[in-house]
Amino acid sequence: MASRRGRKSRTLNTRKGDKEVYEFEDEQNQKLGSSITDLPRPICVDILLRLTVKRILICKCVCKPWHNLISDPEFAKLHFAQGEAYPLVKSLAPTCVSRTLYLVEPPETNTGFDLGYCDCYGYLKWDCDRHLNMKLDTKLKIPLHNAELVINSEGTDANMNHLRCKSGVKRKRCIKLIPKDHKLNVVNSCNGLLCLSEPLQNDPVVVCNPITGEFINLPVPTQTAKHPSAKKFSDCGLGFSPKTNQYKVIRMFDQQECQLTCEPISGRGIYSSRVAEIHTLGKGSWKRIGSAPHSTYSYKLRAATYLNGTLHWFDINNTDYIISFDFDNDEFKPFPPPPHERSNVCYSEKPNMSIGALRGQLCVCDSSYFEYIELWVMEKYGVQGSWTKQFSISTMTDHSRWLRGLYEPMSYLRNGAILFFHRMSNAVYYYDPKKWKLIFLKLSGIKSRFEAIAHIPSFISLKDIVMGDNLAVLNIKSRCGEFKLLGETKALFLKEENADTDSDFNISSAGD
Amino acid sequence: MSSSLEKNMLILRSSDGEEFIVPEVVAVMSKAIKNMVEDECASNTIPVPNVDANILAMVIEFCKKHDESEAEAASDLKTFDSEFVNRGQEALYDLITAANFRDVKELLDALCQNVAEMIKGKSVHHIRIQFLGYQLFEILTSNFIWNIWCDRDFD
C-alpha cells in the first residue's frame, strides 16, 4: 500500500525535479505516507477498543476497512467483553418524543467525571473549566411504537414534506405525534439488548439493540388481562439462558379466572390468577410456564436486573424483596436479601431501595436512612453470607442538607468510581470512594423528568445472536430513523452543579 | 539472570545494513528477539528485517528508557512516552509496524494509545483528513454514495 501511494505522489509532481519531490514528500510526510487505517487488523482493533462508543460509531464511517472491521462480530465480541455499563437516560416528558436515549459516557479526555481539584468549589463560577459541562451526544434511538403511522403520513403528503425557506434551503418538516403512537417503555437491558414494552399495559413488544439500531417485534400474545378485578399491567423482562444460548422474554399477567395454584416463590397453595408466559426469541409464540409470584399489593416489579442467566426484580410486595427468574430452567426462585441491621425492612422504606448490578455483582442500594446511603454487594452470586456493605455514602450537601430519595446504582467505572441515578433531582451522582467525593451532575437542557437504566453498549448484531426461520430483523435507520419528530432537536447536557442551588429539586420532589 | 549475562551485548542489524550495539536486557524487551536469544538460534548479530535504521534507533531509544527507568517515577516515564510517540503519521505507522513485528508490548501500547488520542474528539471529516490525507479526494469521487450514507448518520 505504502509504495503505491508513494508512486502516485511522485506522478502528481512530475514537473518537479526528483530532489524537490523528496523534499516535498518529507514536508508532507503526514499526507503522503502509509495511512493508520491500513495497519494490520489486530492493531486497528486495539486502537478502536480504546475509544468511546460515540467515537467508534464515527470511525465506522471513516473508511471501508474500518467499517468492515467494526461490523465484524469478532470486534463486537471483544468490545462487549471489555465493556462497562453506563446510564442510559430517557426523558419522561409527555411532549418529548421518547425514542431518543442518551448514553452517559465519561468525557473522552478523562476516565471519570471528576475533572480535578478547583479552588472555586462551592461557588461554581461559570468560566471555570474544572467543572463538567458536557453535551450528551451519544444519542441512541429506539423504534417508535407506531412507525407505520409516520411512514404513511410521510407517504401521503410527500409534497408537504419539504418546506422551502427564504434562503432556498430545504428543511424537513417536523412530524407531530401523540404519545400513544411514539411511546415505548424501556424495561430492562441484557447483554446490550433492550426490552421495550407498550406503555398502557406494559406488555413486551420489541427487543432492540440501540447501538446497531436493529430490532425485532415480539409476537402478539394470545391472552391478555381482561378480568375487571385483574391488575391492569403486566410485568416483563428480557433474559439470556447461557445453557441453551437463547434469549428469552418473560411476561406475567392476570388471566380471566382464579385458580388454586402453587405459588412459585413460597411454595404455598393459593388462589391466584397471575400466570407467566415465556417467549424464546426467534421461536414461535408465547409459552405458558405456570403461575407467577402472587402478591396482595399491586405494585409493579421494579428495577429488572439481569445477571448470570437470571433476571432479578425488586418486589415491594414481599418481605423478601428480591425475586428472581432463572432462564436456564424457566423457574422462579426466591433470592436472599442482604442482612440489614434493622430486624425487618418495613414497608414504607422499600420505595427508597433499589437493586442493580455493578461489575457483574448484584447490589442493593438502600437510601432509606436519613443521612447516608448504603451500598450492599453480593460478592459471591447466590450466597447469602457473601452480602457485604461496601460503602456508606453521606449525601450531605455543602449547605448541610441531605438529599433523600431513591438512588439507583448504575455503573462501577474503571477508575473505581460509582455512578448513581437520582430520579428526584434529575441528576447523576458520581462517587469517588478514594477521594470521598460526591459530585452532583445535573441533566439540563431539556426541561423534563428522566429515567435511567444501566446498559452495556454492544455492537453485536441481532442477526448473529437470534436464530430463527422467519425472523424479521428490522432497523430503525430504514424505518423513519431520518424523520425529524417534534421536540427532537434539543440537546441534553450533563452539568456539574451545586446540589443546593438546584432550582427544580423541590418541584420535582413535590410531584414524586 | 546472572550478572554476566546482563552485561552481554547484542548487535542488531537493520534492514538497510546499519548495526546497533545494545545490551541484551534492552534487546529482549522485544519478545521476538527474546525468543531467538532463548532458543540460542541467534549468533552475535541479529538481523531485524523490515525495520530501517531510523525506526530501529527509535525503538532502541524507547526500550533503553524503559529499561533504565524501571526504578524511575511512573509519571516521568509517562511524560517520556507521550513525547516519544508524538510523531508524524509516517513515523507512527512504521513504528507501530516495527513494534508489532518485533513484539514490543510497551511500545505498541503507547503507540496505540497515541493514535486513539488523535482520534478522540474528532468528526468523520477530521479523521479522514488526518489519516487519509490526499486520499480524501479519491474517496470523495469514487465512493460518492458511500459518503452520503455516512454523512447522513453523523453530521
Same domain, A56 and A187: no
Nearest CA to A333 out of A318, A341, A323, A345 is that of A323
**A404 or A240: which carries more pLDDT confidence?**
A240
Nearest CA to A134 out of B125, B121, B151, B154 is that of B121
Per the structure, how many domains does chain A have? Answer: 2
pLDDT of residue A346: 62
Same domain, A329 and A470: yes
Dmax over CA atoms of chain A, in Å, equals 96
For residue A96 the three cell numbers come to: 418529548
* Percent of chain A topping pLDDT 70: 74
Same domain, A163 and A51: no
Interface contact flag, A108 B121, Cβ < 8 Å: yes
Q: Which of A34, A47, A62 shows the shortest C-beta gap to B128?
A: A62
- The arithmetic mean of pLDDT across residues A203-226, rounded, is 83
pLDDT of residue A25: 38
Amino acid identity, position A351: P
Amino acid identity, position B37: V
Interface contact flag, A46 B146, Cβ < 8 Å: no
pLDDT tens column, A270-319: 777 788 889 988 887 888 888 888 766 667 787 889 988 899 988 776 66
Q: Which of A37, A47, A482 shows the shortest C-beta gap to B132?
A: A37
pLDDT tens column, B110-145: 888 888 888 888 888 788 777 776 555 555 555 554
The ipTM is 0.81
* Span of A15-19, A267-271, A414-418, A450-454 with lowest mean pLDDT: A15-19
**Measured between alpha carbons, how far is A457 from A189 in angstroms, rounded to an integer?**
10
**A349 or B105: which carries more pLDDT confidence?**
B105
Q: Which of A46, A52, A62 shows the shortest C-beta gap to B112?
A: A46
Q: What DSSP letter does each residue of A16-67 carry, written as one string?
A: S-HHHHHHHHHHTHHHHS--GGGS-HHHHHHHHTTS-HHHHHHHTTT-HHHH
pLDDT at A208 over 70: yes
**A contacts of B112 (beta carbons < 8 Å):** 43, 46-47, 50
pLDDT at A511 over 80: no
Q: Which of A45, A76, A107 is the last residue of a domain?
A: A76
Produce one character per residue of A146-168: b if its CB has 16 or more CB atoms within 10 Å, e if not: bbebbeebbeeeeeeeeeeeeee
Same domain, A69 and A95: no
Same domain, A227 and A280: yes
Cβ atoms of residues A72 and A107 within 8 Å: no
pLDDT at A211 over 80: yes
Cβ atoms of residues B39 and B80 within 8 Å: no
What is the SS3 assignment for A350-361? HHHEEEEEECCE
Q: Which of B88, B120, B146 shows the shortest C-beta gap to A30?
A: B88
User: Residue A26, CB half-sphere, CA atoms under 13 Å: how many?
Assistant: 5
- The arithmetic mean of pLDDT across residues A404-415, rounded, is 87
pLDDT of residue A238: 92
pLDDT band at B146 (very low <50, low <70, confident <90, very high): low
pLDDT band at A510 (very low <50, low <70, confident <90, very high): very low
- The arithmetic mean of pLDDT across residues B78-107, rounded, is 81
**Measured between alpha carbons, how far is A134 from A115 in angstroms, rounded to an integer?**
12
For residue A15 the three cell numbers come to: 514537473
Which of B52, B125, B131 is the best substitution to test chain A (most A C-beta atoms within 10 A)?
Answer: B131
- The residue in chain B having the minimum alpha-carbon distance to the alpha carbon of residue A213 is B153
Produce one character per residue of A259-275: b if its CB has 16 or more CB atoms within 10 Å, e if not: eebebbbeeeeeebbbb
pLDDT tens column, B23-55: 777 777 888 888 777 776 656 677 777 788 888
pLDDT at A159 over 50: no
- The residue in chain B having the minimum alpha-carbon distance to the alpha carbon of residue A25 is B90
Q: Which of A57, A76, A95 is the last residue of a domain?
A: A76
**Beta bridge pairs of residue A164:** A170
Same domain, A158 and A48: no
**CA A230 vs CA A140, A199, A201, A233, A289: distances in Å:** 36, 17, 12, 9, 19
Q: Which of A31, A36, A48 shows the shortest C-beta gap to B93?
A: A36
* Percent of chain A topping pLDDT 90: 8
Same domain, A41 and A68: yes
Same domain, A392 and A468: yes
**A contacts of B108 (beta carbons < 8 Å):** 43, 46
**B contacts of A59 (beta carbons < 8 Å):** 119, 127
Residues near A272 by Cβ (< 8 Å), separated by ≥ 6? Answer: A258, A259, A261, A263, A291, A292, A294
pLDDT of residue A225: 58
> B8: which DSSP letter?
-
Pairing relationship of beta strands A246-262 and A235-241 according to DSSP bridges: antiparallel
> A1: which DSSP letter?
-
Residues near A156 by Cβ (< 8 Å), separated by ≥ 6? Answer: none
Q: Which of A76, A108, A141 is the last residue of a domain?
A: A76
Helices A73-81 + A41-48 axis angle, to 10: 40
Same domain, A196 and A332: yes
The SS3 call for residue A235 is strand
**Measured between alpha carbons, how far is A123 from A498 in angstroms, rounded to an integer?**
8
Interface contact flag, A63 B116, Cβ < 8 Å: no
If you count residue pairs, one on A and one on B, with CB atoms under 8 Å apart, how many are there? 96
* Span of A29-33, A75-79, A203-207, A482-486 with lowest mean pLDDT: A29-33
pLDDT of residue B142: 55
pLDDT of residue A487: 64
**Measured between alpha carbons, how far is B28 from A317 in angstroms, rounded to an integer?**
64
pLDDT tens column, A332-344: 888 888 887 665 5
**B contacts of A26 (beta carbons < 8 Å):** none
Same domain, A38 and A127: no
Same domain, A133 and A275: yes
**Measured between alpha carbons, how far is A464 from A283 in angstroms, rounded to an integer?**
15
Q: Which domain does A67 fall in, by range?
A: 2-76
On the 0-12 / 13-18 / 19+ scale of CB atoms within 10 A, A241 is middle
Q: Which domains does chain B have, with CATH numbers?
A: 3-118 (3.30.710.10), 121-155 (no CATH)
Same domain, A71 and A106: no
What is the SS3 assignment for B43-88? CCEEECCCCCHHHHHHHHHHHHHHHHCCCCCHHHHHHHHHHHCCCC
Residues near A400 by Cβ (< 8 Å), separated by ≥ 6? Answer: none
